[in-house]
Amino acid sequence: DAGITQSPRYKITETGRQVTLMCHQTWSHSYMFWYRQDLGHGLRLIYYSAAADITDKGEVPDGYVVSRSKTENFPLTLESATRSQTSVYFCASTPSGPYNEQFFGPGTRLTVL
């Protein structure tokens, strides 16, 4: 299907486990982003990527790792999950520059026990 998809939609894991959240877009947008959404904080940027093999930290990158070997995929890995990483994670993309309209995926709700 065309658009931006995230998987899984829901995930429960335990403290210390590694978790990877997937993001796939079919538009060939250059820019991709990972945000976390927590009550009272809005959306906070974790990492972003301007193109394949180019990534940069956002506001809250600690404990997360990203890669972008292909334009269409931008996985987010929690190397050793902590309870504070319980959140809803959104992936977004935009064709040209972070100031333009961002298109968001449906989100992944992650619970770390």
Partner 1 sequence: TQLLEQSPQFLSIQEGENLTVYCNSSSVFSSLQWYRQEPGEGPVLLVTVVTGGEVKKLKRLTFQFGDARKDSSLHITAAQPGDTGLYLCAGAWGNKLVFGAGTILRVKS
Residues engaged in binding partner 1 (CB under 8 A): 35, 40-45, 48, 58-59, 90, 92, 98-99, 101-102, 104-107
CA separation for the pair 83, 111 (Å, rounded): 8
Q: Which is nearer to partner 1, 54 or 79 (CB)?
A: 54
Q: Which is nearer to partner 1, 41 or 83 (CB)?
A: 41
Q: Which is nearer to partner 1, 16 or 95 (CB)?
A: 95
Tell me the closest approach of the beta carbon of residue 39 to partner 1, in angstroms. Answer: 8
Tell me the closest approach of the beta carbon of residue 51 to partner 1, in angstroms. Answer: 13
Token digits of residue 26: 């079919």
Helix (H, G, I), strand (E, B) or coil at 83: helix
CA separation for the pair 49, 56 (Å, rounded): 6
Residue 95 is classified by DSSP as S
